[in-house]
Chains A and B, each alone.
Chain A
Amino acid sequence: MKPDDFDYVSRLLKERSGLVLTKDKAYLLESRLMPLARKRGLKGLDELMVALKKRDIVLEKAVVEAMTTNESFFFRDNKPFDQFKSIVLPNLLKARATKKSFRIWSAACSSGQEPYSLAMLLKEEGAKLSGWRYDIVGTDISDEVLKKARAGAYSQFEVQRGMPMTLLVKYFKKKDENWAIDSAIQSMVQYKEWNLLGDLKPLGQFDVVFCRNVLIYFDQPTKSKVLQAISQIMADDGVLYLGGAETVLGISDHFKPVPGQRGIYAVTKGIGKPSLGAPQG
């Protein structure tokens, strides 16, 4: 790809999604955009660039989606889910005992594995949650991946990565070559197409936010901006989950790490109020 074509695409990505495409990731353009070019009947990246520069809005959106789509798997990294189950959920049940409701947001949820993992986890805790109302909202910038998330059908390869066999047997049915998630789990998650750089307020307030492995693609100012926006739609005692390679330190004052709990951050505006992420005596 020509240097100014690279600059053109990286500017478009930065503007639309916050994604920072560095030169060492140029190879991604080829692998992600070639299938898109073919789908459109274009011969290669050069022809795609010509079409893109005509400011074809549909194509621009497709390019952003192709570049921002990232792989996801069920119960990714395990530990955040264990921690959610053993600490955050019991804290939530105590702190919201009168209201009997809470809301969880899986930001940049890709093809749905994270929100569905949370749904299965909550389903497994069934008895404790009887009489409770809770929302699991999954958002992503790409309606293509959300289509897949809503459909709830995964390949054998996808269901094997991280999903315990007991849950597979319980919540999935084999349908031809794919594994289809149980409709009871499917209906527990609401999916919405949403840009993290846009106004987040219409999403409502959340008690727990999962935003893992998203910030790594943003530059520093964008990270700060997104973290601030997220903090504004969180409960005072809410917790934010970031990916293993991410942190708020030196980027945002709106969150602080929960001591002893890796990857979990408490909202600072709630200082003085015990965080949902803090282990109880």
Chain B
Amino acid sequence: MKSCLIVDDSKVIRMVAKKILQEMSFETEEAEDGQGALQLCQDHLPTAVLLDWNMPVMNGIEFLRALRAMPGGDQPVVVFCTTENDIEHIQEAIEAGANEYIMKPFDSEILQAKFAQVGLIEG
């Protein structure tokens, strides 16, 4: 089964994302900041990561750079999901190795379209 790690400091967002991802047949795990997410990834790598940008302790972009530097860390498909919605942030995400980028607010349609685009689900 495909797995998705949801990284967001908002419990509500994690809940919404979890519901949508489970409907898409993903097994989900959650972390409330980059550090928690990194610890989970050191234990086992998920198929995908849905990643917020602004979080306490370790933010999304720092997590992504650390993940990509890990052995096997190039494997997970990382989709940012953030309120940051300017070109500069998207560019920075691409350079750090993100696979796709969702600008909040999002809904199941956007999430599915993006996951289909990066080949995580059938389009």
Enumerate the 10 nearest inter-chain pairs by beta-carbon distance, A residue then B residue, closest first. A165-B101, A78-B123, A160-B110, A161-B113, A169-B90, A162-B113, A156-B103, A165-B90, A165-B100, A169-B91
Residue among B85, B86, B101, B113 with max Cβ neighbours from chain A (10 Å): B113
Q: How many residues on B have C-beta within 8 angstroms of the other chain's C-beta atoms?
A: 20
Q: Mark A163-192, 1 if CB is under 8 A from B, else 0.
A: 011101100011000000000000000000
Contact of A165 among B94, B106, B110, B113 (CB under 8 A): B94
A79 within 8 A of B: yes
CB neighbors of A among B39-87 (8 A): 85-87
Add 18 more A-B contacts to A77-B123, A160-B106, A173-B87 (CB < 8 A). A73-B113, A78-B117, A78-B123, A160-B102, A160-B103, A160-B110, A160-B113, A160-B114, A161-B110, A161-B113, A164-B100, A164-B117, A165-B100, A168-B90, A168-B101, A169-B90, A169-B91, A169-B94
Residue among B86, B106, B117 with max Cβ neighbours from chain A (10 Å): B117
B15 within 8 A of A: no
Cβ A166 vs Cβ B123 within 8 A: no
Q: B residues within 8 A CB of A166?
A: 94
Q: B residues within 8 A CB of A173?
A: 87
Q: B residues within 8 A CB of A75?
A: 117
Cβ A156 vs Cβ B85 within 8 A: yes
Q: A residues within 8 A CB of B103?
A: 156, 160
Binding site for A on B (CB under 8 A): 85-87, 90-91, 93-94, 98, 100-103, 106, 109-110, 113-114, 116-117, 123
A-B contact pairs, 27 of them (CB 8 A): A73-B113, A75-B117, A77-B123, A78-B116, A78-B117, A156-B103, A160-B102, A160-B103, A160-B106, A160-B110, A160-B113, A160-B114, A161-B109, A161-B110, A161-B113, A162-B117, A165-B90, A165-B93, A165-B94, A166-B94, A168-B90, A168-B101, A169-B90, A169-B91, A173-B87, A174-B86, A174-B87
Q: B residues within 8 A CB of A168?
A: 90, 101
- A75 and B118 alpha carbons, distance in the complex (Å): 13
Q: Mark A45-82, 1 if CB is under 8 A from B, else 0.
A: 00000000000000000000000000001010111000
- A162 and B109 alpha carbons, distance in the complex (Å): 10
- A174 and B86 alpha carbons, distance in the complex (Å): 7
A79 CB, nearest partner CB in chain B, Å = 6
Of all chain A residues, the one with the shortest Cβ separation from B114 is A160
Of all chain B residues, the one with the shortest Cβ separation from A156 is B103
Cβ A169 vs Cβ B87 within 8 A: yes
- A32 and B60 alpha carbons, distance in the complex (Å): 41
A185 CB, nearest partner CB in chain B, Å = 16
- A83 and B89 alpha carbons, distance in the complex (Å): 31
B68 CB, nearest partner CB in chain A, Å = 17
Of all chain B residues, the one with the shortest Cβ separation from A173 is B87
Q: Mark A252-280, 1 if CB is under 8 A from B, else 0.
A: 00000000000000000000000000000
Q: B residues within 8 A CB of A174?
A: 85-87
Q: A residues within 8 A CB of B100?
A: 164-165
